Amino acid sequence: MPKGTSITIREGTLSIANGAFDGCTYLESVTIPNSVTSIGDRAFAGCSALAGVSIPNSVTSIGDCVFDGCSSLTSITIPNSVTSIGYSAFYDCDSLTSVTIPNSVTSIGSRAFTGCSGLTDLIWNARNCSTNGDMETSNLERVTIGNEVEVLPLYFANGSKITSVTIPNSVTSIGNSAFCDCRDLASVTISNAVSSIGNSAFDGCSRLRSVFIPNSVTSIGSRAFFGCSGLTSVNIGNAVTSIGKYAFDGCSGLTSVSIPNSVTSIGDCAFFNCSGLQSVELPGSLVNIGRSAFSGCPDISIVMLLNPTPPLCSANATTFDNNVFNDAKLYVPKKSVALYQASDVWGQFTQIIGVNISN
């Protein structure tokens, strides 16, 4: 093909075969008719001059490596008919600046957008999409989540330039690692429809300042807010029943935490190394508290524990630092002082003070 080649595929064509235009480095534009239903693996791979493609509404699948190495591709329209995007479909499309994932897409292969270093805008409309692998998000600045999205996948992870996110009312769960290592993320709005926050969902979001977890959320996964060192306040909704392991580990900016009266268990190291923590309020519903849940929090001076029955702690648990046991005040229901004094863990507090729960 000579430089500047433009191709119009004949109407009536049903599919573009595997490798059909693979390596056609001078192909600059292609028109695909509405009769095409599938684009095969590596169909346009290595077409380094290809600047734009309009995929018709008849296409239901985009194969593996279809646009791999299309380094001049600046825009792509994926229609609502597409249900799957294959492995490395847009690999190394480093001129691609924006992508819209339609609500019809249910699966995206691994490395589908890896190497898309110019990608700054992502519009995510996929309602419930399974993802496998990573996506180039290091330069992603804006994420727009559609009003029909139900589950947030891990594809927003490593978006180090994303500064704010609003999660719409349609989302019922925030997936594992959804915003992991989004280091510039300073604010997030979680809707009242979200019922769970997955493992490592906001892991490493060191600039996140405050989080309001709505009353719809029932569980906070392991490492959900791990390393969020800029977090100064967190409001945990009163429907949460469990806080996972290492959930707030390293949140050194927290000075106080109040656990609502719905939580029955706090996982191992849940608030480990929250070095700025000064006061903790634990609910009457608390049954189990994990190993080293509040270790590494040397400045805790007040612990309010409203359960008449001392919660169980892991065997040989260093639930608090030794200096906290020695110096902090533990406030418990007045009628339960003797029970706490007899407890292996809670009895290590030298100051156990009985209070009226009603007050």
157-199 tens-digit pLDDT: 777 688 898 998 998 889 888 888 888 999 999 999 999 999 9
The pTM of the full predicted model, rounded to 2 decimals, is 0.81
31 touches 53 (CB < 8 A): no
pLDDT of residue 228: 97
Mean pLDDT of the chain: 91
| pLDDT of 359 above 90 | no
Q: Which long-range contacts (CB under 8 A, 24 or more apart) does 54-57 make?
A: 55/79, 55/82, 56/32, 57/81
Residue 346's SS3 state is: helix
| pLDDT of 134 above 60 | no
pLDDT of residue 132: 57
DSSP assignment of 233-257, as one string? Answer: EEEE-TT--EE-TTTTTT-TT--EE
Bridge partner residues of 144 (DSSP): 123
User: How does pLDDT run across 235-272, given as a tens digit for each residue?
Assistant: 999 999 999 999 999 999 999 999 999 999 999 999 99
| pLDDT of 138 above 80 | no
Q: Give the C-alpha separation, 157 to 174, whole Å.
A: 12
Would you say domain 1-125 falls under CATH 3.30.830.10? no
61-62: strand order across its sheet: 15-16, 38-39, 61-62, 84-85, 107-108, 130-131
Angle at 159 between CA 154 and CA 160, to 5 degrees: 140
pLDDT of residue 110: 84
Q: Per the structure block, which two tokens stand in for 193?
A: 């429809």
pLDDT of residue 133: 52
Q: Give the C-alpha separation, 172 to 274, whole Å.
A: 29
Domain boundaries, the chain: 1-125
